[in-house]
Amino acid sequence: MSGTTSQWREDSLARIDRFSDLKIGVLGDLIADLYTYGQPVRLSREAPVMIIREEREELIPGGAANTIANLRALGAQVVPVGVVGDDALGDRLLGQLVAAGVDGRGIRVLENYRTVAKMRLLAGDVHTVKQQVVRIDREPTRAPTGAETAAIIQTLEELGSTVDAWIVSDYGYAAATPAAIDWVRGRSRQGSGRNRSGVPTVADSRYRLGDFRGFTVVTPNESEFCDAAGLENPSEAELFASAEGMRSELAGEALLITRGNRGMLLLESGEEPLEIPIHGDDDIVDVSGAGDTVASVLTLALAGGATLPDACRLANVASGLTVMKRGAATVTPAELSDALS
């Protein structure tokens, strides 16, 4: 951390005030998180299941769309590149993002393509907290065609020249094709001081960390990292050694592993591993979308000139706020500033 804790807070508060000056590109999988809330009324006579009376339904941007929502909630301008289907959920998701002030020109609507959705049924009595009963995943019925893949690259070329940083939010679906990842990698920050070129590039990938070689920072959670590294219940020493090995293989500036109520682990080129303890209460309510918040704040801080440790500490504060909220939540500049103050 540069300087004293008080200096870091002062610098961070100033950066938060400048988030609205930044434009961030987001390449990734747009997902509709659909929540249906209901009240259990009786057992069904058709099958040994409970009948749930629907009370309300809510659509929340998920996946890369949650990253976009986080960036907008923090005041940043966003240039999204992704796809939705020509269906009702795609219309709703795209409409919600545009209503939040997102420039939707980079989101392509594909014919005969199903918008990715995670549909959750939550049930409980009137005066109790609703509990998730079942989740149904709605996945695309086909992969993008060659022409559609080429169109994603064209969109990147058309919209990507003015952004201050890139995030790839990869959930294993259509948008982050190898060619698109290569395009973003080509814009990645390199060098140091006056010789530095390019912009910060942050990769948040669920299943294929090794595809993001040469990105500025790769941000898996501990479970994703262990899956990629082939680790099962590693000791701290094994985790640290494997993490340093992966950081070296990825050949970027850093690897940031988020660890839930154990905070974060930053592996930075040429530096000792940095453990960042969780900010706030370790009695976590919901980790859904916390990785999207981390990637968003980390990228904004780097684009605003923060060092990697300072940017990670600010992202850690934001993560500590969002895990105390239910669902794929966002954080506002006021909440982040209050937490620092």
Three-state SS annotation for 134-169 = EEEEECCCCCCCHHHHHHHHHHHHHHHHHCCEEEEE
Ordered structural domains, the chain, with CATH: 5-31+62-115+143-340 (3.40.1190.20)
- 272: helix, strand or coil: coil
Q: Which pLDDT score, from 0 to 100, does residue 78 have?
A: 96
Instruction: Answer yes or no: 86 catalytic.
Output: no
Stretch 137-161: mean pLDDT, rounded? 92
Q: Which of 29, 164, 211, 292 is catalytic?
A: 292
Residue 294 in this model has a pLDDT that exceeds 80: yes
Q: Which pLDDT score, from 0 to 100, does residue 290 have?
A: 81
Q: Which pLDDT score, from 0 to 100, does residue 327 have?
A: 62
Please give the share of the chain, as a percent, with pLDDT higher than 90: 79
Confidence of residue 126 (pLDDT cuts 50, 70, 90): confident
Please give the share of the chain, as a percent, with pLDDT higher than 70: 92
Q: Which pLDDT score, from 0 to 100, does residue 174 have?
A: 80
Q: Per-residue pLDDT tens for 106-118?
A: 999 999 999 999 9
Confidence of residue 283 (pLDDT cuts 50, 70, 90): low
Q: Which pLDDT score, from 0 to 100, does residue 2 have?
A: 53
pTM of the model: 0.91
Stretch 214-223: mean pLDDT, rounded? 95
254, 234 in Cβ contact below 8 A? no
Q: Which of 296, 293, 292, 302 has its CA nearest to residue 321?
A: 293
